[in-house]
Amino acid sequence: MAACPAPYILAAPRIALIDEHDARLREMFTDTPVIEPIHSRQGIPGSIDRRLRDALDRATNPHTVIITTHAAMMGLEPGTIAGWNVRWDENPDAALVSGVVGLGASWRTMAALYDLMPGAEPGWFRVIRRPDVQPVTLSQHLNDVGKQLVELHRLAGSSVRIVEVDVESWEDAGVPRRKVRWRSIWSFAALAGCASLRVAAAGYSGSLTDHAVRRAGGVRVEETRLDYHRTAQPAIKIHWFARHPGSTGWWATAVGKRCLVAVSRHLEAIGFDGYWASNSAIENFFVGRFDRAEKCRPKLAGTNSLRHHTSAALIYSAKATPDDAAIITALGLDAATITSSREDEDVFQFIFRGAVRERDYTGPYDIYLYDLGQAERLRDRLLGAGLVDVTLDAVSDAGIIDVVRTTRVRRAKVIAEITPETAADRRERRRAKDTERKRRKRAEAKRVQQLSGDLPTRGRPKGSRRPA
């Protein structure tokens, strides 16, 4: 972008990275380009979508760079980026969203706001915002009792994102115990109107984004591996605590909680002072244990502000859940692929934010992960990335290496191979049940009359004459 004057849009995964890119580009440019960062924390009135569209419309300088977030880019209509060169930093996290919801009482609200029309795949139906209805704002959804529907409403309210559900009629969602699967899959195919598109992402191949692009079709992917010559090799040691795999379900059990306490006590005892993160559901086991450490979010792709750290700890799980069922079905994946595409990618990106990111770093680098499986997969990936001094270390002092997951963790099936009952099916079943109930009632009344001798005698056959 600095070397070739042209109109560019640079998409970053987080707002903090927008400021980093802005400062870096201003250092690199030799001419007088227009650089305009656009994000929600600038205190400027107006929605991000509108501000971004306005910036694209008014751009006149032939060397313009607009920097915004992935989410903002995913809300743009294809026609608005014609002639613009898109440069995308890291894989988009929010490109594939899915869930499972119960709409027992809310289906009438959904029917009032959205129409349904057949989707591209059998059994799936597109959610279309009704033009004759006043749209509900996101803040109104946040203050509503149905907060689990906020993300569905947010995406369905977009003029670009496609949202699909597995019900043909909203009334079908009102059937007792019926769960509705929904999904919204965005891919780079949505940017087909741009002048060019380049994505810089170490983990693109095999990612969920990669699978989504293949599903959408119409996109030719040309992969270029950049030369990354390290001038030195760090001594990387991956410490692991348990042989059993971690998960949020397991950590909610009594034994799982004791394992987390053991991990946090060990990190406290060694004076851990690097950067760390965990699933939000378990972070209270670690908060306050190591004051000199820097707390982060698990997803750190693209972050450059942690390079001074020589240790990292990530107690984290991002395995497939029932909410992923719609994505798994759409992309033809399985639970293991979800783990590889999401959890392992998050781990790799997280630990690569510290000193190991510096190509001339030669010192030690300590990584703390929960289980051996994570450690082994990370080791293989680091070796594949050109790092040669990578070893595993079992943390026996924590005392949970040989803990076995004997407690059964209830897991809903990721994909339930069933044919859900529709509202019409329920009405027909109720009619048949009512008919059968009335038939049994008549039969019982007749039996009682027979036993009491009150059963009327048969009359004359129809059409016969009374005798004289």
pLDDT of amino acid 88: 95
Residue 332 sits at φ, ψ, to 5 deg, of 65, 40
Tokens of residue 82, six digits: 């014609």
pLDDT in tens, 111-120: 999 999 999 8
- Among residues 185, 207, 227, the one where a domain terminates is 185
Residue 452's pLDDT band, with cuts at 50, 70 and 90, is: confident
Same domain, 136 and 253: no
pLDDT of amino acid 309: 97
pLDDT of amino acid 466: 58
Residue 403 sits at φ, ψ, to 5 deg, of -65, 130
Average pLDDT over residues 174-195: 90
For the chain, percent of residues with pLDDT exceeding 70: 90
pLDDT of amino acid 207: 87
pLDDT of amino acid 413: 46
- Among residues 363, 398, 433, the one where a domain terminates is 398
Average pLDDT over residues 94-105: 88
Q: Return the higher-pLDDT residue of 261 and 303.
A: 261
Q: Does residue 452 lie within any of the structural domains? A: no
Q: Please determine, for residue 144, whether its predicted confidence score (pLDDT) is greater than 90.
A: no
Tokens of residue 220, six digits: 């030719």
Average pLDDT over residues 372-399: 94
Q: Please determine, for residue 468, whether its predicted confidence score (pLDDT) is greater than 60.
A: no
Q: Does residue 164 lie within any of the structural domains? A: yes
Average pLDDT over residues 164-179: 90
pLDDT of amino acid 282: 96
Q: Return the higher-pLDDT residue of 142 and 360.
A: 360
Q: Return the higher-pLDDT residue of 404 and 448.
A: 404
Q: Please determine, for residue 382, whether its predicted confidence score (pLDDT) is greater than 90.
A: yes
DSSP 321: -
Same domain, 371 and 276: yes
Distance between CA atoms of residues 201 and 435, nearest Å: 63
Distance between CA atoms of residues 113 and 135, nearest Å: 8
Q: Does residue 369 lie within any of the structural domains? A: yes
Q: Cβ(319)–Cβ(343) under 8 Å?
A: yes
Return the ∠ at Cα 369 (arms to 367 and 374), rounded to 5°. Answer: 115
pLDDT of amino acid 418: 45
Most confident option among 33-37, 154-158, 183-187, 443-447: 183-187
Q: Please determine, for residue 166, whether its predicted confidence score (pLDDT) is greater than 70.
A: yes
Same domain, 286 and 393: yes
Distance between CA atoms of residues 279 and 283, nearest Å: 6
- Going by their DSSP bridges, the two strands 64-69 and 34-37 should be labelled as parallel
Q: Does residue 329 lie within any of the structural domains? A: yes
Same domain, 263 and 355: yes
Distance between CA atoms of residues 37 and 69, nearest Å: 9
Which residues, 6 or more positions from 128, have their beta carbon under 8 angstroms from its beta carbon? 114, 115, 116, 117
Q: Return the higher-pLDDT residue of 391 and 434.
A: 391
Number of domains, the chain? 3
Q: Does residue 278 lie within any of the structural domains? A: yes
Q: Burial, 76: exposed, middle or buried (Cβ in 10 Å; 0-12, 13-18, 19+)?
A: buried
pLDDT in tens, 320-365: 888 888 998 888 888 888 888 889 999 999 999 999 999 999 999 9
Same domain, 319 and 243: yes
CA distances from 10 to 29, 67, 185, 195, 229 (A): 15, 5, 21, 13, 26
Q: Please determine, for residue 185, whether its predicted confidence score (pLDDT) is greater than 70.
A: yes
Same domain, 254 and 391: yes
pLDDT of amino acid 141: 63
pLDDT of amino acid 74: 92
Q: Cβ(125)–Cβ(167) under 8 Å?
A: yes
| SS3 state at 370 | strand
- Going by their DSSP bridges, the two strands 196-200 and 114-118 should be labelled as unpaired
Q: Does residue 193 lie within any of the structural domains? A: yes
Distance between CA atoms of residues 253 and 433, nearest Å: 43
Q: Does residue 208 lie within any of the structural domains? A: yes
Residue 414's pLDDT band, with cuts at 50, 70 and 90, is: very low
pLDDT in tens, 204-222: 888 889 999 988 888 888 9
Lowest mean pLDDT among 68-72, 244-248, 391-395, 435-439: 435-439
Same domain, 196 and 246: no
Average pLDDT over residues 89-94: 88
pLDDT of amino acid 9: 97
Distance between CA atoms of residues 150 and 170, nearest Å: 17
Closest Cα to residue 163, out of 122, 110, 119? 119
Same domain, 56 and 18: yes
Same domain, 173 and 265: no
Q: Please determine, for residue 410, whether its predicted confidence score (pLDDT) is greater than 50.
A: no
pLDDT of amino acid 408: 55
Same domain, 35 and 138: no
Average pLDDT across the chain, whole number: 87
**């999904």: which residue's tokens?**
183
Residue 77's pLDDT band, with cuts at 50, 70 and 90, is: confident
Same domain, 208 and 108: no
pLDDT of amino acid 47: 85
Domain of residue 394: give its range: 235-398
pTM, to two decimals:
0.79
Closest Cα to residue 353, out of 294, 393, 266? 294
Average pLDDT over residues 223-234: 84
Q: Please determine, for residue 459, whether its predicted confidence score (pLDDT) is greater than 70.
A: no
For residue 341, what is the domain's CATH number? 3.40.50.300
H/E stretch holding 428 reads helix 423-452
Q: Return the higher-pLDDT residue of 202 and 76.
A: 76
Lowest mean pLDDT among 132-136, 222-226, 281-285, 368-372: 132-136
pLDDT in tens, 284-324: 999 999 889 999 999 988 888 899 999 999 999 998 888 88
Same domain, 198 and 279: no
Helix axes 344-351, 372-384, angle to 10 degrees: 60
Q: Does residue 338 lie within any of the structural domains? A: yes
Terminal-residue alpha carbon distance, the chain: 114
